[in-house]
Amino acid sequence: MKSTAEWIDGKGFREAVFELVRLAACELPADVEKALSDARSAEEPGSSAELTLSLFLKNIAMAKEKQAPVCQDTGLPIFFISHPEGVSQRQLIRVCQEAASWATAKPYLRHNAVDAVTGKNSGNNIGLGFPAVYFTEWDDPAIEMALILKGGGSENVSGQYSIPYDPLDAGRDLEGVRRVVLDCACKAEGKGCPPGILGVCIGGDRGGGYMESKHQLLRRLDDIHPDPVLAELEGRILSDANRLGIGPLGLGGKTTLLGVKIGKLHRVPASYFVTISYMCWVCRRRSIRIEPDGNWRITG
């Protein structure tokens, strides 16, 4: 097998990662655009919700045409990389950093990496844990990179519940899960830029729960969970959330969420965490697959 350095420095590799960042920032996935378009059709004609969704769709078209970032908050770039055995993760992190820096100069990304103590902006989207890069080793010979640009407003309204949760009488069962997830969506009101998408993890520890909830945000909106129990729960929470009346940007309307995606992790007997990552309507999620010969293609 090729060394990581040969692979990364060879034909196409950097180009592919740079393209991934550009695409994520400037062009929303087709399933997200379709969901927004369907939502517009569902709102009352002439309502502010319908106007807002029309302007979202107009903005998506303008961003694509001008090759400009759909939203100015390009957030924290989070890379999820699946790679074969023997690949150097440190070298892959360096490529992700190069891509972040290149995209900042274009400008496809906003200057977003701020020192947590001094407040100094690094100016190139590189910093401690910035961009975030996570790895999974797999049997496939290719590398697959998924990228989410996770904006700050939606991250701020994400949350984690430890159940039982008294204020909602939420117990350690799926009904309890339903209650706390809806509570999170309701408390977010317009602050997370609805209609949002919720990535949810049932179980795990506090850290693992957040990771899994972000993994769930990689799923297409129109997929169906293979576990019928979770598939049903996803549908139930989605339809319940869309009865809250929060609507696009929290200004009222029928569409509060575009999707709910739920995963699970084993938990210790003492803990029962429910973790929710809120993704705004500008759901920037893209992926590419890079073959060992440097050929690559967009996979999502």
Partner 1 sequence: MRDKAMIHLTTPISEAEILELHAGDAIQLSGIATTGRDAAHKYMVEKLIEAPRPLPPADQKLHDELQSFLRGGAIYHSGPILRNDDGRWSFVSSGPTTSIRDEVYQDKVIAAFGLRVVIGKGGMGPRTLEACKRYKAVYLHGIGGAGVYNAASVVEVLDVFKKEEFGLPEAFWKIRFDRFTGIVTMDAHGKSLHDDLALEFDRNFATVIKGV
Catalog residues that contact partner 1 under the rule CB under 8 A. Answer: 46-48, 51-52, 55-56, 58-59, 62-63, 66, 68-74, 107, 109-112, 114, 119-121, 123, 152-153, 156, 168, 175, 178-179, 182-183, 186, 189-191, 193, 240-241, 243-246, 249-252, 280-282
In whole angstroms, how close is the CB of 111 to partner 1 at the nearest point?
5
Residue pair 143/83 in contact (Cβ under 8 Å)? The answer is: yes
Of residues 143 and 260, the one with the C-beta less far from partner 1: 260
When the beta carbons of 79 and 281 are compared against partner 1, the nearer one is: 281
Q: Which of 226, 158, 242, 144 is nearest to 192 (CA)?
A: 158
What residues are paired with 290 via a beta bridge?
143, 296
Report, in Å, the least distance between residue 184 CB and partner 1: 11
Residue 2 or 236 having the CB closest to partner 1: 236
Q: How far apart are CA 17 and CA 131, in angstroms?
A: 13
Residue 261 exposed, middle or buried by CB count within 10 Å (0-12, 13-18, 19+): buried
State in angstroms the smallest separation of the CB of 107 from partner 1.
5
Contacts 24+ apart (CB under 8 A), 226-229: 229/174
Strands in the chain per DSSP E: 76-83, 132-137, 143-150, 159-162, 196-203, 257-265, 273-279, 284-290, 296-298
For residue 288, the minimal CB distance to partner 1 (Å) is: 23
Q: Is the Cβ–Cβ distance between 154 and 280 less than 8 Å?
A: yes
- Minimum distance between the CB of residue 294 and partner 1, rounded to whole angstroms? 31
Q: Which is nearer to partner 1, 159 or 204 (CB)?
A: 159
Q: Give the nearer residue to partner 1 in terms of CB position, either 246 or 276.
A: 246
Q: How far is the CB of 77 from partner 1 (least distance, A)?
A: 14
> What is the rounded distance in angstroms from the CA atom of residue 39 to the CA atom of residue 50?
8
If the CB atoms of residues 191 and 220 are measured against partner 1, the closer one turns out to be: 191
